[in-house]
Chain A
């Protein structure tokens, strides 16, 4: 436990050294969970007495009496997970008699946060340490110098992320720091969740509900809140979810890159007849893979395991081979497993300490490389425990159910390569293209990537590589529903001859008039490299004209390079064609975003 502060001063109340010392002695010996629980308890006392009481022992702030008993649950979501969690939490809170409101951060005026006293944040980190699409202005404001103090705010943060990225849970983490700096009071310690978030989410929600319940006289009398169970509120009518996926039959696997392409991209069709699955253009399909058997054998062989060793995963007894096949992540690396390897290898510790080398490691190496490069003697259970749980991979759906009933189509880049004298596999692509006849799938809704409701609104679709997938769904849908809006596709890949994904379909759409304009950037078809953003600049006047007449602008594909380059190009188009200052151009784009007319699905 941290040392006792000598005195804490806030504008609302002063706690003297004696009081602090007394509080401190009370909680000596408490473990972390007990301390967290206590913080909630004490805060609850404060709520019930409507008077100043001692603050949580390890939180450096004192809470003033809240003027409003209602909690606001904010979410910042890219894939919908944060929203689902927020809505579940709201349902559980209400069941416990706690007044809550759910608020999408995209629709929230940043400064309005100064008007409330109780906030819970469910915040996803997207891509490389970025906030979810549409929430940038909220975070920009609160990280700026203009941000006002938030002394009266009680809050807690649930951060979602992916520990195979270097900036794991970066937005939640840094926002937590920032709120503390602004004087706000973290009433329940932040929880950082990885892809398999069900368990930590349940724990955090329970703590939050307990805390709020104790603060609230109505529910405090009833004792502890009911244990929170995570269930898909939004998908309530459907039985299919991430937790209980549908086993879809794979009916077509067809390579769609030409014989001379350096890339193997496959068009995969799954039969979902009778599943009741429904999806809209823009949605993704979650695919829970089984790991590549050859990779499992390579790992077992290197670690001198037979594979039939009994292990336990979440209380279930399995063989090691089964655990690696269906339950554990064995391709992508993440921070926790790296930390375990690093315990035995100071050299790796150094790699992890340096942000650049850590990031490079995550991008270029897989688990199999670590096993070979950082030898360590493992016991089977220890090995399994160190691995993350296997989680579904998301693919942007490439078909519209209104055009192609009973099927869902995916555009899958096959990850299969030699590096460091070892074979490497992508889990989901090799699963979909392997021997399996069926794949466990569920729909991942993406409200941030939707066709305009106005059927006559023009759209500009910018995509590279497999990023073209959702646009196939867009056009199928717009054709099926006879939308009159103009459609413009800007697609990029390596060569026109072998990498123009779905070429025949786009050409047919162009001939039929559905595709109003088609611009292509094939980077290797000429001396100078040409990318999608070059085509935007080539067509600057038309891009601006389309935007001026209400076009929606979509970007799908690589987050690291393409999305940023496209944004820069769009900025230049608006600045130059609109004869605007840089600030006005940025405002123009911000307004497009807040109007939902600039949407991204990048990964």
Chain B
């Protein structure tokens, strides 16, 4: 690793920013460019948006002596992924008025708008706030959207876990009034000093992710989170949570000192202590995280550099209670359960597959229109799953038929008929808007999944619930390193292939091939599928099979 002793430039930007103000107001007023001033592009993330450009148009715009086609991605914080029908309508209206007519559902249960231009940022963000959602801390070096199984009606435990997620989210929301001044025209109180009792003036060294899972579902992929809580039940009641720390997906191609890491379960706490645990873990990372290298700044490196024992004792010293040994738990799956489910109160919940998490009108499949019509008659909520799907929740049995008809009419029902592989696949946004992407992801997944499905059918294993994830870069937005098959972008049309994750997100996969194209990927997978179909042990998942044979990988190539 490079010895870097100086703080990263981003640390200076945060320090100078006067609690995240920077020169964002001046940047918004400059109509000579669709961009923000350089420093403000870092600060904007704390306010919930990223500056991006349409990379498909970059070269042509440069020839025309015009700056790139800049726009902004705005992420809306939706703790636990629950939005009311009115909030859905507000998001829909913003998507069609200010964004590119699509609503992106993220792998962290948030809404994302793409294509918002600078001069409409303020109206868009204030519109989001009017719907009682917000964007503060949706990105940036702070705690992001807190994930949680969204189907709270499943049990009292689900309801309690969701409340815990909200408690943590509120507790860790930045305190600065900059957000309200810039976007909501709140006047700064004269002589007032901002204070960030949890974060301090330079916030965290890097992003921070928290999730809550309720076994046996690991839908939120808790081993990928910096901090996570596993609900522990006893006789139908929530006993408390196992605490896990140090998960994280991001890595950089060719830099072995960067790596994905699965979280360690370090103990158990009662429900009333979740906010305290979260605060103390955040503060340890605040004080001990590496601020000299952003590629080495996540909690996972702090823990690995100093040892898990150090971390546990440091945390224990700061807690007002004793963390006791973790309780037993078991994860059995992490995918969504599609279709209709009835809860204990007789209400209905419909989980729908959203291709690549993009709610849009595409040809005769008009999902955006369908959900708009449903939101107008629906009295319940919309739930965003961590698998980028939607649950229309709290439907009275009398409404079921109407909703079915609407879905049929707008061509959404037809979209549901996809293979299990596609249903469970994840893709990040990547090209053309993400500045980090090296290869296609969201736009390429349908074609890739089709090609892989052909191989699966040829081997008679098309009904296996294989997890396929694809990202445009190694930073890990779609949590690729926990998939059975993952493609991580290297260059246009070229990926590194990762195989051997388990089906429930506890074991990392391994890179088996670096920098291969589609033909090579399909040929490698074809050999594995053939072998798997013939030699698998009963009930063995594909990932486990590959893992078991890993030592013989070279022979397969």
Residues of A within 8 A of B65 (CB): 254, 256, 267, 501-505
Over the window 131-146 of chain A, the binary record of Cβ atoms lying under 8 Å from chain B Cβ atoms (1 yes, 0 no) is 0000000000000000
Cβ of A518 under 8 Å from chain B:
yes
Stretch at the interface among B29-37, B233-241, B344-352: B29-37
B11 at interface (Cβ–Cβ under 8 A)?
A: no
A38 to chain B, nearest CB (A): 62
The stretch of B55-63, B335-343, B414-422, B499-507 in contact with A is B55-63
CA distance A408 to B33 in the complex (A): 28
In the complex, what's the smallest C-beta–C-beta distance from B72 to chain A, in angstroms?
14
A520 CB–B CB distance under 8 Å: yes
Contacts of B440 in A (CB 8 A): none
Partner of B69, one of A497, A505, A518, A522: A497
Query: With an 8 A cutoff between CB atoms, is A510 at the interface?
Result: yes
- Docked Cα-Cα span, A256 to B67, in Å, equals 11
The answer to the question of B376 belonging to the interface, with a C-beta cut-off of 8 Å to chain A, is no
Measured CB to CB, the closest approach of chain B to A465, in angstroms, equals 15
Chain A residues, CB < 8 A from B61: 258
Give the complex CA separation of A525 and B33 in angstroms: 13
Q: Smallest Cβ distance from B434 to chain A, in angstroms?
A: 20
Which B residues lie within 8 Å of A503 (CB)?
Answer: 32-33, 65-67
Among A254, A256, A506, the residue within 8 A (CB) of B32 is A506
Q: How far is the CA of A501 from the CA of B32 in the complex (A)?
A: 11
- CB-CB nearest in chain A for B61: A258
A258, A496, A502, A510 pick with most chain B CB within 10 angstroms: A496
Inside 8 A of A510's CB, which chain B residues have their CB?
32
Q: Is the CB of B31 within 8 A of A522?
A: yes
B57-113 contacts to A (CB < 8 Å) = 57, 60-67, 69
Give every chain B residue within 8 A of A256 (Cβ-Cβ).
64-66
Q: Take A267-B65, A503-B65, A503-B67 as given contacts and tell me if A259 and B57 are in contact as well, using a CB distance cutoff of 8 Å.
A: yes
A507 within 8 A of B: yes
Q: Does A257 contact B (CB under 8 A)?
A: yes
Residue of A whose beta carbon sits closest to that of B119: A525
Tell whether A520 pairs with B117 under 8 Å between CB atoms, given A503-B67, A504-B67.
no
CA distance A508 to B270 in the complex (A): 58
Interface check A471, CB cutoff 8 A: no
> In the bound complex, what is the Cα–Cα distance between A257 and B65 (angstroms)?
9
| Given known A510-B32, A518-B32, contact A498–B66 (CB-CB < 8 A) | yes
A500 at the interface (CB under 8 A from B): yes
A520 lies within 8 A of B64 (CB): no
Q: Nearest-CB distance from B263 to chain A (Å)?
A: 44
User: A254 contacts B64, CB within 8 Å?
Assistant: yes
Min Cβ gap A451→B in Å is: 23
Complex Cα–Cα for A256 and B62 (A): 9
Q: A506-B32, A507-B32, A522-B31 are in contact. Are A500 and B66 (CB under 8 A)?
A: yes
Q: How many chain A residues touch the partner (CB < 8 A)?
A: 24
Shortest distance between the CB of B172 and any CB in chain A (Å) = 37
Cβ-defined partner of B64 (8 Å) among A258, A518, A522: A258
Give bound CA distance, A502 to B64, whole Å. Answer: 8
Q: Provide the residues of chain A in CB contact with B69, threshold 8 Å.
A: 258, 497
A255 at the interface (CB under 8 A from B): yes
Interfacial chain A residues near B119, Cβ < 8 Å:
525-526
A504 B62 Cβ-Cβ under 8 A: yes
List the A residue with the shortest CB-CB distance to B35. Answer: A507
Task: Give CA–CA (A522, B117) in the complex, Å.
Answer: 15
Chain B: which residue is nearest A504 at the CB level? Answer: B65
A542 to chain B, nearest CB (A): 16
Residues on B with C-beta less than 8 A from A255 are 64
B36 to chain A, nearest CB (A): 13
Q: Considering only CB atoms, which chain A residue lies closest to B117 in the complex? A: A497
Total A-B contacts with CB atoms under 8 angstroms apart? 48
Q: How far is the CA of A526 from the CA of B117 in the complex (A)?
A: 13
Please state if A520 and B32 are interface contacts (CB–CB under 8 Å). Answer: yes
- Shortest CB-to-CB span from B89 to chain A, Å, is 24
Q: Do residues B33 and A507 form an inter-chain contact, with CB atoms below 8 A? A: yes
A506: B residues at CB distance < 8 A:
32
B222 CB → nearest A CB, Å: 43
Q: Whole-angstrom distance between the alpha carbons of A505 and B60 in the complex?
A: 16
A371 to B60, CA, bound (A): 41
Question: In the bound complex, how far is the Cα of B117 from the Cα of A501, in angstroms?
Answer: 19
Chain B positions 440 through 468: 1 when the CB is less than 8 Å from some CB of chain A, otherwise 0: 00000000000000000000000000000
Q: Which residues of B contact A504 (CB under 8 A)?
A: 62, 65-67
CB distance from B193 to the nearest CB of A (A): 34
Contact A496 to B31, CB < 8 A, known contacts A259-B57, A525-B119: yes
Interface-centre pick from A257, A258, A505, A526 (highest chain B CB count, 10 A): A258
Inter-chain contacts of B62 with A (CB < 8 A): 504
A525 pairs with B31, CB closer than 8 A: yes
- Give the chain A neighbours of B31 by CB distance below 8 A: 496, 520, 522, 525
Instruction: Report the nearest A residue to B33, measured CB to CB.
Output: A507
In the complex, the chain B residue whose C-beta lies closest to that of A510 is B32
A-contact bits for B20-49, CB 8 A (1 contact / 0 none): 000000000001111000000000000000
Bound CA span A257–B117, Å? 18
Q: Mark A222-260, 1 if CB is under 8 A from B, else 0.
A: 000000000000000000000000000000001111110
Given contacts A497-B69, A525-B119, contact A257 B32 (CB under 8 A): no
Which A residues lie within 8 Å of B66 (CB)? 256, 258, 498, 500, 503-504
**Within 8 Å CB of B64, what residues of A?**
254-258
Q: List A residues 460-516 near B (Cβ within 8 Å).
A: 496-498, 500-507, 510
Q: Which residues of B contact A259 (CB under 8 A)?
A: 57, 60
Task: State the Cβ distance, B510 to closest chain A Cβ, in Å.
Answer: 44
Instruction: Using A258-B64, A258-B66, A259-B57 as known contacts, say yes or no to A497 and B32 having CB atoms under 8 A apart.
Output: no
B57 contacts A507, CB within 8 Å?
Answer: no
User: In the bound complex, what is the Cα–Cα distance between A205 and B57 (angstroms)?
Assistant: 59
Q: Mark B489-521, 1 if CB is under 8 A from A, else 0.
A: 000000000000000000000000000000000
Nearest A residue (CB) for B118 = A496
Question: A259-277 vs B: 1/0 string, CB under 8 Å?
Answer: 1000000010000000000
CA distance A522 to B32 in the complex (A): 10
* Shortest Cβ distance from A522 into B: residue: B31
The residues in A between 512 and 565 inclusive whose CB is less than 8 angstroms from any CB of B are 518, 520, 522, 525-526
Which of chain A's residues 549-597 have a Cβ closer than 8 Å to chain B? none
User: How far, in whole Å, are A254 and B64 apart by their CA atoms in the complex?
Assistant: 7
Q: How far is the CB of A507 from chain B (nearest CB, A)?
A: 6
Query: Closest residue to A257 on the B side, CB-wise?
Result: B64
Query: How far, in Å, is B38 (CB) from chain A's closest CB?
Result: 10
B34 near A496 with CB under 8 A, answer yes
**CA A506 to CA B33, docked complex, whole Å:** 10
Residue on B nearest A500 in the bound complex, by CB: B66
Report A41 CB to chain B, min CB distance, Å. Answer: 62
Q: With A and B bound together, what is the CA distance between A501 and B57 in angstroms? A: 17
Neighbouring A residues of B32 by C-beta, 8 Å: 496, 500, 503, 506-507, 510, 518, 520
Specify which chain B residues have a CB less than 8 angstroms from the CB of A525 in the assembled complex. Answer: 31, 119
Contacts of B33 in A (CB 8 A): 503, 507
Which residues of the partner chain B approach A267 to less than 8 Å between Cβ atoms?
65
Task: Give the interface centre of A503, A506, A526 by most chain B CB atoms within 10 Å.
Answer: A503
| Alpha-carbon gap, A23 to B545, bound state (A) | 123
Task: Tell me which of B60, B63, B65 has the highest count of chain A C-beta atoms within 10 A of its own C-beta.
Answer: B65
Given contacts A254-B65, A256-B66, A497-B117, 5 further A-B contacts (CB under 8 A): A258-B61, A258-B66, A258-B69, A267-B65, A522-B31
Show 30 residue pairs from A and B whose CB-CB distance is below 8 angstroms, ordered by the A residue: A254-B65, A255-B64, A256-B64, A256-B65, A256-B66, A257-B64, A258-B61, A258-B64, A258-B66, A258-B69, A259-B60, A496-B31, A496-B32, A496-B34, A497-B34, A497-B117, A500-B66, A502-B65, A504-B62, A504-B66, A504-B67, A505-B65, A506-B32, A507-B33, A507-B67, A510-B32, A520-B32, A525-B31, A525-B119, A526-B119
Q: What are the nearest 9 A-B pairs in CB distance?
A: A256-B64, A504-B65, A503-B66, A256-B65, A502-B65, A518-B32, A520-B31, A503-B67, A258-B66
B interface vs A, CB < 8 Å? 31-34, 57, 60-67, 69, 117, 119
